[in-house]
A = this chain, B = another copy of it.
């Protein structure tokens, strides 16, 4: 059985959840036909740790806040990202740092260093895919490795790979999604009678919304995801700034009640659509959906994507769109894709 060496870049909630699964459930991976060994971790706060024989995850996971890896063998107080990514004995680099919606850095550099060094990359990071996806995928192909990023759209719920692998042979004309759990939760609570601000505070209390909920409420989080879907599934070359974006900040309780009375439900819809002339338009905006629309019944913080196809009409997938374990599963599904690629290359 092949064992892949991993370097975790960023040691926040998602990569910690992945490390916990690898520590606690080796049989889950064995059943998939491979083993996983973490040989490097870097983190802005903790520094870096490289242990080629496999990191003691118990120790790494229980580092107290405010300490650093410096005290451990192979540890340093400095993240040393480029050095670790380029030179650690990793087969797969797991990129899960924060997303800059402006230039995708530092994640874009992390991905490039890894691909240039002949290492596969799996990532949950929207920024590099939305802003530099085409270029990075080409760099991966040029280096004979994979760049996989299923978690960038809907965390562990399959979207990109589902469209590619399960809807083959269909003509896809549009993709519509509810791609932000916070805004969907807020709209649902407004239907239950809360005001916008009250609903946002409730979402913050529940941990759905950030202290600054602007990216969720104003649609800029969804904008990145729509750019990914347009480029990946409809073959567009759209920059996120070209996605016309309106958030839910101006939706009032009166709007919501009026819609409900007419059998309609306001949802924040991200959409990419191919016009008859082949051009592709992408948008994020609140839409009052009829009750029989496939996305009208998506409630709470759930996310969903509906694919409009020629032979099947609408096919819709819904599930979690966030969460540390849920997003760690996206990384696992990406590693499974890398494993299929490696096995295929060995056979060929």
Residues of chain A whose beta carbon lies under 8 Å from any beta carbon of chain B: 28-29, 31-32, 156-158, 161-162, 165-170, 291-292, 294, 296-300, 302, 311-320, 325-326, 328-329, 332-333, 336, 344, 347-348
Contacts and interface: CB of A to CB of B under 8 A. Distances in A.
A306 B226 CA distance: 25
B333 A168 contact: yes
Nearest to A292: B299
Nearest to A159: B166
B311 A157 contact: no
A292 B300 contact: yes
Contacts of A300: 292
B313 A316 contact: no
A165 B165 contact: yes
B316 A312 contact: no
Q: Counting chain B CB atoms within 10 Å of each CB, which of A292, A297, A316, A320 scores highest? A: A297
A70 B149 CA distance: 56
Given A299-B291, A319-B313, A161 B169 contact: no
10 contacts: A32-B169, A158-B162, A169-B336, A291-B299, A296-B299, A297-B297, A311-B326, A313-B319, A313-B326, A315-B317
B319 A314 contact: yes
Contacts of A313: 319-320, 326
B319 A318 contact: no
A173 to B, nearest CB: 15
B169 A166 contact: no
A31 B332 contact: no
A329 B170 contact: yes
B329 A320 contact: no
